[in-house]
Structure 1
C-alpha cells in the first residue's frame, strides 16, 4: 500500500515510505547474484572514471574542465541506476531498514562486504582492459597521474571528511533517481549531484577503485604507493558510510518514515 501511494506522488519525500523495504530487499538477495551485480556496478563506475579522465586530458584544471569531468563521470551512476547494479556507496543507505528493524545488522554488513569486493573486482577489470587497449595515451595517463597524486597527498582526516560529502551527494542522486518516473528524469536527477562531487574533488571509494590503479599504471616506472592507496580506500569507505547513513536517516526522519516504520 505504501509503495502504491508513493508511486502516485513521487515528489519530495514520498520515496521515504518505500525506501526501507526496497533497501532491505536489496540486502536480501543471494550473495552470488549480489556479487555479480556489484562487479557490474564497479565496471560502470570505472567507465565513468574513464570518461572523467578523457574530459581532463590536455585541458588543465580550470573550473569548467572540472565540471565537464564531473558530467562525464555521471555516466557511471546513470548506468548503475538504469541497469540495476549494486553499488556500495548507494547501499550505505541500508542503515535505514536496519534502523526500522526491516534488516538485520549482520546481513547489512555482509551485503556491504560482498558489494564492496564486487565493486573492486569490476573496477580493476575495466582498468586492466583499458590499459591493455592503450587507453592511457594522449594525455589520459597524465590526467590519471595528476588525480592520483592529489588523492594520495590528502591526510586521512581530510579523506574521511571528503568521503562524507561525496556520498551525501551520491545518495542524493540515488534518492532523487528513485523518485523519477521517466528515463530522462532519472538522468537529470543524477547528473547535477555527481557533477558537483567530482568537480569539488571529493572522495568516492568506488571511483577510487579505478582511479588509483589507472594512475599507477600510467606511471609504470614508478613504484605504486599501495599503502597510501589502502589508506585512501579505507578512509573514503568509512566517510562514504557516514555520509550515506546521515543522508538516509535524516531524509527518513524528516519525512516521518522512521517513526512509522513504513
Structure 2
C-alpha cells in the first residue's frame, strides 16, 4: 500500500549545506484529507469504536440544544427560528472535531484513502460499520438520559411536543426525497470538515463549521446519526408520556402512532444513510480525488515540455562554455 504524506501542516526540508531545516510550502487541503482519511480506517478498532460512541453523544446533545432553542418560538419568523436552531446544532460537529470523535458522516471521506489504495475496500467497510454502530450506541445512551431527566416536560410539555413533531416529520418523506436530503446534508458536513483542513487552529476550525451545519439543519436536510437520536426520542415520548401530557397540549397519542421502528428504519434511516454515503463519500471525497488526478494528468505534458526545454537550454549553455574556452585558449 502507498503511504500518505507523513505529517500535517507546514513541511520542512533540510539544507544540503548545513542540514538546517527550512520551511517549505504548506501541505494542501487534499493532502491533509489523505492523512485524515487513512487515519480513520487504520485507527485501532476499540479506539475507533469508543470515539464513535462519544460522537453519537455529541450529535445527540446538539439536537437537544436545537429542540430547546426552537421550542416556544411562537410567531417568530420560520427561517430565523431554523437558523438559530441550525447554529445551535453546529455544537455537535464542533465537539466531534475539537474533542475528538468518530462520526459516520465525516468518516465516509475515507473513500479518498481507498481511491488512493492506502486501504482496502474491506478495511473501509469495517471502519464504517464500527463507527456507525458506535454512533448508534451513543445516541441511544442520550435517549435514555434525556428521557430519565424528564426533559420532554419542559415548557409545559412543549419541548416534548416539538420533539414529537420533528421526529414525525422525518418519517413523512418519500424514499427518494429522504435519499436526496441525505446527499445534500452530507455534502455540507464534508465541505465543512474539508475546510478545517486549511487551518491548524481549533478556534478557526470551529468557526468554519458553523455555517455549513447551520445551513443543512435550517434547510431540513437529513443526517443519519442525528436521526438515530431524534426519531427514537420521539418514539420514546410517544410510548411513555401520560394521557394527561397529550391532553394538556391539545393533541392525542394516536396522532403520533406512525412513530414506529419499522417506519424509522425503512422510510428514513436506510435512504438517509445511503444518501449520506453518496454525498460525503462520492460527491465530496471521490470528487476531490478525481480533480486531483486530473491535475496530475494535465501537468505531465507541461512537465515533459519543461524537461525538454531545460535539456535544450543546458546543451546550448554547454556549447557556449566550450566555445568560450576555445576562444580564450587561442587568444
Displacement of 1:183: 2.2
Q: Structure 2 CA distance, aligned partners of 1:257 and 1:74?
A: 34
Name structure 2 gaps, 5 residues minimum: 12-24, 240-252, 298-331
**TM-score with structure 1 setting the length:** 0.92
Name structure 1 gaps, 5 residues minimum: none
Q: 1:131 to 1:100 in 2, by over 3 A?
A: same
Partner of 1:233: 269
Partner of 1:210: 229
Q: Structure 1 CA distance, aligned partners of 2:92 and 2:48?
A: 18
Partner of 1:169: 188
Q: Which one has more relative contact order, counting CA pairs under 8 Å at least 6 apart?
A: 1
Aligned 8 A contact 2:168 2:231 in 1: no
Of 102, 111, 134, the residue aligned with 2:118 is: 102
Matches for 1:39-188 after TM superposition, within 5 Å: 39-60=53-74, 62-137=78-153, 138=155, 139-188=158-207
Q: Structure 2 CA distance, aligned partners of 1:136 and 1:207?
A: 17
Q: Structure 2 CA distance, aligned partners of 1:22 and 1:4?
A: 11
1:37 aligns with 2:74: no
RMSD (Å) for aligned C-alpha atoms: 2.1
Partner of 2:308: none
Aligned 8 A contact 2:32 2:197 in 1: no
Aligned 8 A contact 2:86 2:215 in 1: yes
Deviations 1:51-89 (A, max 9, x none): 111111111571100000000000010000001110000
Displacement of 1:6: 4.9
Q: 1:24 to 1:195 in 2, by over 3 A?
A: same
Q: Structure 2 CA distance, aligned partners of 1:100 and 1:146?
A: 44
Displacement of 1:215: 1.4
Q: Structure 1 CA distance, aligned partners of 2:201 and 2:8?
A: 18
Aligned 8 A contact 2:8 2:32 in 1: no
Partner of 1:189: 208
Q: 1:186 to 1:102 in 2, by over 3 A?
A: same
